Structure 1
Amino acid sequence: MDLDAISQHFFGTTDIDALDPDALDAGRERVSIAFGTEREPGRRFALWAVLRATGVAPEPRVAFKDAREIRAGEAYAAAIGLSPHTET
């Protein structure tokens, strides 16, 4: 999934930093719902990464059941400087 496309679809803009708090919360809610219903692993991971980047993603061990996805989530969190075992 293209992150600009995700941003535009769920937040109405590609510049998430420019959103007011209410618009950011509304976008996060839409992404959270999509994450909870998405079944395709790649799309699900992309949605989780957006949630992680906006500070509301569950930790990888909660978000994913597959061991490879958990490791990928932990590696992603470490790469962006967040502890993989701490909620953001």
Structure 2
Amino acid sequence: MDFQDLLFRYFGQSDVDTLNPATLDAGLERVRVDFGLETDPGRRFGLWTLMYMLGDAPDLDVAFKDADERDAARNFMDLVDKMGEA
């Protein structure tokens, strides 16, 4: 899953900084629905990362039943935090 493609799919554009609040909320609702319905672990993780980057990700223990998936999500969160420090 490509981040820009996901933005375009759910929000109709790839520049998240120019989204109005209603478009952002509607897109996030679509992401949440697809996340809840998705059964492929890789796709679920991709959708979760999109929600995380937009500040709307569910808690890890709710999002991922598998410990390895929770660890991967924690690692992603740590990487994003480190990128913000640079």
Same structural fold, with TM-score higher than 0.5 when normalized by the shorter chain: yes
Q: Which residue of 2 aligns with 1:16?
A: 16
TM-score, length basis structure 2 = 0.89
**What does residue 76 of structure 1 align with?**
76
Q: What is the root-mean-square deviation in Å for CA atoms of aligned residues?
A: 1.3
Equivalent position amino acid for 1:35 in 2: F
* Percentage identity across paired residues of the two chains: 44
The Cα of 1:73 is off from its aligned counterpart by 0.6
Q: Which residue of 1 aligns with 2:60?
A: 60
* More moved, 47-56 vs 72-81: 72-81
Letter of the 1:40 counterpart: D
Residue 81 of structure 1 aligns to a residue whose secondary structure is: helix
| Deviant stretches of 4+, over 3 Å | none
Structure having the larger proportion of residues in helix? 2
Q: What is the Cα deviation at residue 3 of structure 1?
A: 1.3
| Partner in structure 1 of residue 48 of structure 2 | 48
Deviation per CA, 1:30-81: give whole Å up to 9, x if none: 1010000000111100000000011110122221011110000111112212
Give ranges in structure 2 of 5+ residues lacking alignment: none
Letter aligned with residue 6 of structure 1: L
- Give the paired residue count: 82
